[in-house]
Amino acid sequence: AQSVTQLDSQVPVFEEAPVELRCNYSSSVSVYLFWYVQYPNQGLQLLLKYLSGSTLVKGINGFEAEFNKSQTSFHLRKPSVHISDTAEYFCAVIPGPGGGSSNTGKLIFGQGTTLQVKP
C-alpha cells in the first residue's frame, strides 16, 4: 500500500524568501505524484504532477517540484513567495502503470502543509 508523509504541518516564511515544502512517499510500485493547493474555503487546485521523464517538474504560480526516486521524495519549491501563496498544500500519490493490485485508482493524500507568508 502507498502512503504519503508531509514532514511539516506549518511553514512560516517571509515574503520574497524561498520556500520548500517536503513530501515523502512509500510505495512498492512505481507511482504518479501530485501537488495540490487549497486557498481558504475553496477546493483543491492542481499545482503540478510527475508522471515520468524529467525529474524536475514545473507547475503553475512559479512552483516546481523534484522527484527523487532513491529518497522517495517529491519536495515542492518556490524561489520567491508572495503573500498570495498563503494556502494549504497537499502532496498526493497514485500507483502508476504496472501497479497491479495496488492500483485502486484512488489518490492517497498527505496531511497537508500550511504555508504562511508574512510581509
Find how far residue 93's CA is from the centre of its chain. Answer: 9
Judged by CB under 8 A, the stretch of 11-19, 43-51, 53-61, 63-71 that binds another protein is 43-51
What are the beta bridge partners of residue 68?
73
Cell 503553475 appears where? Answer: 60
Binding residues among 52-81 for another protein as defined by CB under 8 A: none
Residues 17 and 52: their CA atoms lie apart, in Å, by 30
> Is there a contact between 2 and 107 (Cβ–Cβ < 8 Å)?
no
The answer to the question of residue 87 lying near another protein (CB under 8 A) is no
Question: Which H or E element spans position 44?
Answer: strand 44-50
Among 107, 115, 118, 119, binds another protein (CB under 8 A): 107
Position 108, amino acid: I
Tell me the site size for another protein, rule CB under 8 A: 24
Among 53, 98, 100, 105, binds another protein (CB under 8 A): 105
Chain positions contacting another protein, by CB under 8 A: 9, 32, 34, 36, 41-46, 49, 51, 90, 92, 94, 96, 103, 105-107, 109-112
